Amino acid sequence: AQSVAQPEDQVNVAEGNPLTVKCTYSVSGNPYLFWYVQYPNRGLQFLLKYITGDNLVKGSYGFEAEFNKSQTSFHLKKPSALVSDSALYFCAVRDFSSNTGKLIFGQGTTLQVKP
Amino acid sequence: EPEVTQTPSHQVTQMGQEVILRCVPISNHLYFYWYRQILGQKVEFLVSFYNNEISEKSEIFDDQFSVERPDGSNFTLKIRSTKLEDSAMYFCARQRGQGEAFFGQGTRLTVV
């Protein structure tokens, strides 16, 4: 079965420092991986995706993620965190075991950036 | 990409009542989805809708749930007889091909 794990419920980082939000996946075949961000009382906003190509993908708001096939990971990164980055972050993988392409989400990681 | 718009943003309903959550307008995407997020928990797939038919549904999507495109643009999720455990954020999403899904801002359903 396809699955995604986010091992940290919360990540705390000081403003200006680099941040990493971890994600590992388990899929059969090549993974289609996504990161979404959710601000309080808001919907899910797409940040970036990996489907094929370069292992380092760049997305919105200065975020990037590194696909590592050997470690089955897709960690979200940003070189310099902002207080406004504080939000709930979800990693997701496309489920190809069905033909609908639905997303399977990790449990989410709360990012707290302190001034 | 235009956003997916959901109405209402928040709905409070009595247990046992019917609710209809709406997703409007819909662009010319083929795949539509409903997901649910119980407070503090992860986002879960409910149902996918392709070419005006349900293409897949999860275990959560039991007989109390139904989806429709009543007028060819609006996309609705109906819960016939709400239970307390149906309280959650409900998200509509659209997707074209194998790319990313775009989500609405969600409807917060509170069943009392």
Residue B42 pairs with which residues in a beta bridge? none
Q: What integer pLDDT is reported at residue B2 of this predicted model?
A: 54
Residue type at A90? F
- Is A43's CB within 8 Å of B45's CB? no
E-strand ranges in B1-112 read: 5-7, 10-13, 19-24, 31-37, 43-50, 53-57, 65-68, 75-79, 88-95, 101-103, 107-111
Min mean pLDDT across A60-64, A83-87, B93-97 is at: B93-97
The average confidence (pLDDT) of chain A is 93
Residue A77's pLDDT band (cuts 50, 70, 90) = very high
pLDDT of residue B29 exceeding 70, the answer is no
SS3 B86: helix
Residue A48 pairs with which residues in a beta bridge? A35
For the stretch B44-94, pLDDT in tens is 999 998 877 899 999 999 999 999 887 777 889 999 999 999 999 999 998
Q: What is the DSSP string of A82-111?
A: -GGG-EEEEEEEE-TTSTT--EEE---EEE
The average confidence (pLDDT) of chain B is 88
- For the residues B12-24, what does the mean pLDDT come to? 95
Which pair of tokens denotes residue A10? 């919360």
Of A41, A100, A105, the CB nearest to B48: A100
Give contacts of A41 with chain B, Cβ < 8 Å: 108
Torsion over CA: A34, B98, B2, B108 (sign) = negative
- Is B56's CB within 8 Å of A103's CB? no
Q: What integer pLDDT is reported at residue B79 of this predicted model?
A: 97
Q: Between residues B21 and B27, which one has the greater pLDDT?
A: B21
CB burial string A53-70: b at 16+ within 10 A, e below: eeeebebeeebbbbbeee
- For the residues A65-85, what does the mean pLDDT come to? 97
Residue B41's pLDDT band (cuts 50, 70, 90) = confident
Shortest Cα distance, chain A CAs vs residue B111, angstroms: 18
Residue A16's pLDDT band (cuts 50, 70, 90) = very high
Question: Mutation test of the interface with chain B: which of A100, A104, A105, choosing the one with the most B Cβ atoms within 10 A?
Answer: A100
